[in-house]
Structure 1
């Protein structure tokens, strides 16, 4: 535990845990074996952080230059509310300028990556192997199924529920249940469907041409 770090009353720190300078761990919070808490991170009361999770590592910020990639300093931190549970092997990056924020009563499964500047709203639940790109905001009381992925700088409304392997590439402004991805099927069917998928644009053009011919034949137009 580094100089300047603060550990609250009745907190529990397991073996091989590292708590960096000026980090603050709240009362009653448990840090299981191998957890790493970087400098300046704030964790609320009565949280449970499972083994080998890393909180406050640098966000993935680099700028291309003629000489290669130049690292961008990550000057924010991570703020975690009260009664948050974070599974094993997660990575929650510090913000580039503003803090990455996990609100009260959030539950996060194993092997989740939360990039710099992400905000997770109160009472949300995130299943295993989910990934958030930087700057995305997840609303309150949301649920996210396993292996879902979020593009960066999105805004997700409260009470949104994303199915497993959901690919979220745009804002979601209305509450409700959303799904994407391909369900399991025999490999022969998958191969046929994949081949058809590559021809969808051509097929759509052919259908439009046929519709136009039928309309002209009937003497009508749109």
Structure 2
């Protein structure tokens, strides 16, 4: 199967290994990965702050970039995928663009969603020994309704024990610009999240959204907790 890869800004600028590993994983699962070079920022920071008009040029660039073919589009970030899924709504006052946006949005998948639901794969042959906590990001569970897919993949990782925590689905406090505009509230939210994680003494914290992992990982590091923070693609490529 041929697929397009949407790299996202955070992968491109901060976590390039997640991007590389996503491509490797897709190739191992039999996909031929295309990378439309005209892609750019999806406009999420502006959209989350209410600057829809200012984000429209970025949205239109993304739409044009992925109109180059009709293959599925896969991203290792639920937050970016969720933003693109709302393009038709943001462009509703421009019917032609809204229709084009819908066609692109319908082809967009978050990585675990694509692997489980489109490829029909739950066991990728990964092996990782230890105890782990999974953080379900708000973008995945609330905006995309992707709850079970990451857990199905992690359940098949040989040697990995998944352990629950208190208030597992509570927001970590990142929320894009929320963590800047409401820094004190955000700080208390991530502090509580790390407390719940630490109570079960895991070896790993696993998530499928880089932004949440950066936020929680920063607090884990500041507290000196012995927990390794991993994007789910890191786990799925472990052998």
TM-score by length of 2: 0.19
Q: Which has the higher contact order (CA 8 A, sep 6+)?
A: 2
| Greater C-alpha radius of gyration | 1
Q: Which has a greater percent of strand?
A: 1
